Chains A and B, each alone.
Chain A
Amino acid sequence: MRILVVAEHDGRTVAAASRSALAFARQCATATDGRVEWLLLGHQLDTPAADAATYAPVLAADSPALIYPLAEPYAAVIVAAVTERRADLLVAANGTSARDIVTRAAGLLGGAMASDVVRHEFRDGRLRLQRPMYAAAVLATVELLGTPQIVTIQPTAYAPAERSSAAAEVTRLDVSERDPRGGSQYVGLAGQRAGRPDVNQARVVVSGGRAIQSREDFERVVGGLADALGGATGSTRPLVDAGIAPNECQVGQTGRIVAPELYVALGLSGSVQHLAGMKNAKTIVAINRDPEAPIFSATDHGLVGDIYEVVPELIARLRNA
Chain B
Amino acid sequence: MKILVPTKRVPDPNQRVGVRADGEGIEDEDLTYVLNPFDEVALEEAILVRERSAGLVEVVAVGIGPEACEDQLRVALAMGADRAILVPCDEVLDSWNVARILQQLVLRESPQLVLMGKQAVDDDANQAGQFLAALLSWPQATFASRIQWLDGEVQVDRETDAGLETVRVRLPAVVTADLRLNQPRYASLTAILRARKKPLQRESLEDLGVVIEPRVRVLGLQASSSSRNCRRAASVDELVAQLREAKVV
Interface residues of A (CB under 8 A from B): 70-72, 75, 95-97, 99-100, 103-108, 110-116, 128, 132-146, 182-193, 198, 200, 229, 237, 240-241, 246-248, 253-254, 256, 261-262, 272-273, 275, 279, 282-287, 296-305, 310, 313-314, 317-318, 321
Q: Which residues on the B side are within 8 Å of A303 (C-beta)?
A: 232-233, 235-236, 238-239
Contact between chains at A184 and B231 (CB < 8 Å): no
C-alpha gap A318/B16 in the complex (Å)? 38
Report A275 CB to chain B, min CB distance, Å.
Answer: 5
Choose among A107, A190, A298 the residue that contacts B163 (Cβ–Cβ < 8 A).
Answer: A190
Report A147 CB to chain B, min CB distance, Å.
Answer: 11
Q: Which residues on the B side are within 8 Å of A304 (C-beta)?
A: 232
* Contact A104/B134 with A262-B248, A317-B237 known, Cβ cut-off 8 Å: yes
Residues B119-164 near A (CB distance < 8 A): 119, 121-127, 130-135, 137-143, 145, 153, 155, 158-164
Q: List 25 A-B contacts (CB under 8 A).
A: A70-B167, A100-B142, A103-B130, A105-B134, A107-B131, A111-B99, A113-B216, A134-B124, A135-B124, A136-B224, A141-B222, A184-B167, A189-B162, A190-B165, A192-B163, A254-B179, A272-B13, A275-B226, A284-B228, A297-B227, A297-B228, A297-B230, A300-B229, A303-B233, A305-B236
C-alpha gap A247/B160 in the complex (Å)? 8
Contact between chains at A107 and B132 (CB < 8 Å): yes
Q: Which residues on the A side are within 8 Å of B143 (C-beta)?
A: 96, 99-100
Which of A75, A136, A185, A279 has its CB near the most chain B CB atoms (within 10 A)?
A185
Contact between chains at B215 and A145 (CB < 8 Å): yes
* Contact A248/B162 with A134-B17, A285-B243 known, Cβ cut-off 8 Å: yes
Closest-by-CB residue of A relative to B224 is: A139
Chain B interface: which size bin?
Answer: 35 or more
C-alpha gap A318/B239 in the complex (Å)? 11
Selected interface stretch from B44-52, B77-85, B168-176, B189-197: B168-176
Choose among A71, A95, A114, A317 the residue that contacts B236 (Cβ–Cβ < 8 A).
Answer: A317
Residues B81-122 near A (CB distance < 8 A): 94-96, 99, 118-119, 121-122
Contact between chains at A247 and B96 (CB < 8 Å): no
* Contact A143/B227 with A116-B124, A133-B123, A314-B239 known, Cβ cut-off 8 Å: no
Choose among A75, A96, A104, A190 the residue that contacts B161 (Cβ–Cβ < 8 A).
Answer: A96
Choose among A189, A272, A301, A321 the residue that contacts B166 (Cβ–Cβ < 8 A).
Answer: A189
Choose among B127, B168, B239, B249 the residue that contacts A185 (Cβ–Cβ < 8 A).
Answer: B168
Choose among A96, A97, A104, A186 the residue that contacts B167 (Cβ–Cβ < 8 A).
Answer: A186
B11 at interface, CB cutoff 8 A: yes
* Contact A301/B219 with A134-B122, A272-B13 known, Cβ cut-off 8 Å: no
Q: Which residues on the B side are within 8 Å of A132 (C-beta)?
A: 124, 224
Choose among B130, B218, B235 the residue that contacts A100 (Cβ–Cβ < 8 A).
Answer: B130
Closest-by-CB residue of B relative to A256 is: B161
Contact between chains at B17 and A111 (CB < 8 Å): no
B208 at interface, CB cutoff 8 A: no
* Contact A113/B249 with A247-B163, A247-B180 known, Cβ cut-off 8 Å: no
C-alpha gap A96/B26 in the complex (Å)? 28
Choose among B165, B173, B233 the residue that contacts A301 (Cβ–Cβ < 8 A).
Answer: B233
Which of B140, B161, B173, B179 has its CB near the most chain A CB atoms (within 10 A)?
B161
Contact between chains at B161 and A137 (CB < 8 Å): no
Report B159 CB to chain A, min CB distance, Å.
Answer: 5
Choose among B170, B228, B236 the residue that contacts A183 (Cβ–Cβ < 8 A).
Answer: B170
Q: Which residues on the B side are within 8 Å of A99 (C-beta)?
A: 126, 130, 142-143
* Contact A135/B121 with A285-B243, A301-B242 known, Cβ cut-off 8 Å: yes
Report B34 CB to chain A, min CB distance, Å.
Answer: 14
C-alpha gap A235/B27 in the complex (Å)? 31
C-alpha gap A182/B134 in the complex (Å)? 12
Report B33 CB to chain A, min CB distance, Å.
Answer: 13
C-alpha gap A144/B217 in the complex (Å)? 6
* Contact A108/B134 with A113-B215, A142-B219 known, Cβ cut-off 8 Å: yes
Q: Which residues on the B side are within 8 Å of A116 (C-beta)?
A: 124
B199 at interface, CB cutoff 8 A: no
* Contact A318/B17 with A112-B215, A138-B221 known, Cβ cut-off 8 Å: no
B66 at interface, CB cutoff 8 A: no
* Contact A187/B237 with A138-B19, A300-B230 known, Cβ cut-off 8 Å: no
Contact between chains at B233 and A106 (CB < 8 Å): no
Q: Which residues on the B side are within 8 Å of A134 (C-beta)?
A: 11, 17, 26, 121-122, 124
Report A280 CB to chain B, min CB distance, Å.
Answer: 9
Contact between chains at A140 and B139 (CB < 8 Å): no
Contact between chains at B219 and A318 (CB < 8 Å): no
Report A183 CB to chain B, min CB distance, Å.
Answer: 3
Nearest 10 CB-CB pairings of A with B: A107-B134, A111-B96, A183-B170, A191-B163, A107-B131, A183-B139, A187-B166, A103-B130, A279-B226, A96-B160
